[in-house]
Chain A
């Protein structure tokens, strides 16, 4: 067992990962790739702006739950500005956009991430982030307004747009990783954790992982016998 991997359900996770990959190859990636190439840049930008705009209430709720008053203010201010542009144009670029979700809020509250999980269709996750997704869905006023008005198109359309735009952003990185990794599943697992840790810190500079100094002391800082072979 790979203890460092914190992946007790690895066989099942790998199985779901393979299914997700097949769906990605057959459906999601081709659509995302076409969208990326065919869609004019202005439309892509407007779609991103609108999705960010619709997420404002959920981001605000999580800002507040984390006690991030300044960021809550920024989210609110951006929301009012961008309402003037129907959410399609970002007229508040002087305030940078930031994302938040309930998975991050739980982390800020000190709840551990738990074992690694690959969720069907959703992908890399863990119990904390899985609960986060469900809570964000539940507290989202856009969802309830859509339900009450029977705007099914908005619910499905938004979900589809979120999936595709998120995939568009990751295409270069995943292509590169597939080309260069020995174990794509293991690489994604580790990258997911590092990325989430960064989001939880709100992209603040991370302290150097302890592992570096334990190892680098021996490898780099102190004299090391050079390997016999030079290439």
Chain B
């Protein structure tokens, strides 16, 4: 009986620091999202600097906050293994271009919206979901969730969920469709990505 109580007490003592360490992560993740969003608004909202310069800053910020390679590989799904090494490398480069321009475009239409970070909770031992909302001047707020992986070097965003629509899941299904329509060849996706990113840059 005594042994048992002793065991419980020591178990509790060992668990407590672990528990508090786990509880700290959600708060840190919320701060991470808040900080990143503010930086992005600052970079893209600064209409004083030239377009290309702004985009370069945004790309740097984006690569710091997002795990672009992991997202890219997730989005390519089972075709990652079908691709040659050269194709994989070109794909990751084009994918980065695509999502940097995608998000830069969204931020360039920024007009005073604010982000309220609502909650953060662990989804797995190393993955957190941070929920937030975008407050608009007109219309109801937009739900915006961030799936974040906890790494040794800090946090990295691995998915963005807008009004319950996951960017990664959508792109994954879209890319699969492009490849299948291109006869199952990853090369067809690369062609489509090349065309798309070229058009987005000339805009």
Contact = CB atoms under 8 A, between A and B. Distances in A.
B70, B156, B164, B168 — which one has the most chain A CB atoms within 10 A of its CB?
B164
B97 to A, nearest CB: 9
B192 interface: yes
B181 A227 contact: no
A41 B138 contact: yes
A129 to B, nearest CB: 16
B174 A216 contact: no
Interface stretch (B16-24, B31-39, B86-94): B86-94
A136 B16 CA distance: 54
Interface stretch (A24-32, A83-91, A185-193): A185-193
Given A4-B176, A213-B124, A180 B73 contact: no
Interface residues of B, number: 57
Nearest to B171: A187
Contact of B177 (A5, A191, A213): A5
A161 interface: no
Nearest to B77: A215
Contact of B165 (A191, A212, A213, A220): A191
A212 B159 contact: yes
A211 interface: yes
B49 interface: no
Interface string A176-187: 100111110111
A182 B174 contact: yes
A194 B166 contact: yes
A70 interface: no
A43 interface: no
Contact of B96 (A220, A226, A231): A231
Given A179-B200, A220-B67, A229-B93, A186 B178 contact: yes
Given A2-B177, A208-B123, A231-B93, A182 B170 contact: no
B129 A176 contact: no
Contacts of B85: 228
B59 to A, nearest CB: 9
A39 interface: no
A176 B174 contact: no
A149 interface: no
A206 interface: yes
B191 to A, nearest CB: 10
Contact of B105 (A179, A205, A229): A179
B74 A183 contact: no
Given A41-B138, A176-B106, A191 B170 contact: yes
A28 to B, nearest CB: 20
B196 interface: yes
A182 B105 contact: no
B164 A194 contact: yes
Interface in A39-62: 41
B166 A209 contact: yes
Interface stretch (A98-106, A138-146, A195-203): A195-203
A55 B66 CA distance: 42
B178 A182 contact: yes
A184 to B, nearest CB: 9
A221 interface: yes
9 contacts: A5-B177, A179-B102, A180-B196, A209-B166, A209-B169, A212-B147, A213-B127, A219-B74, A231-B63
Interface of B: 63, 67, 69-70, 73-74, 77, 85, 88-89, 92-93, 96, 98, 101-102, 105-106, 109, 123-127, 129, 131, 138-139, 143, 147, 149, 151, 156, 158-159, 163-166, 168-171, 173-178, 180-181, 189, 192-193, 196, 200, 203
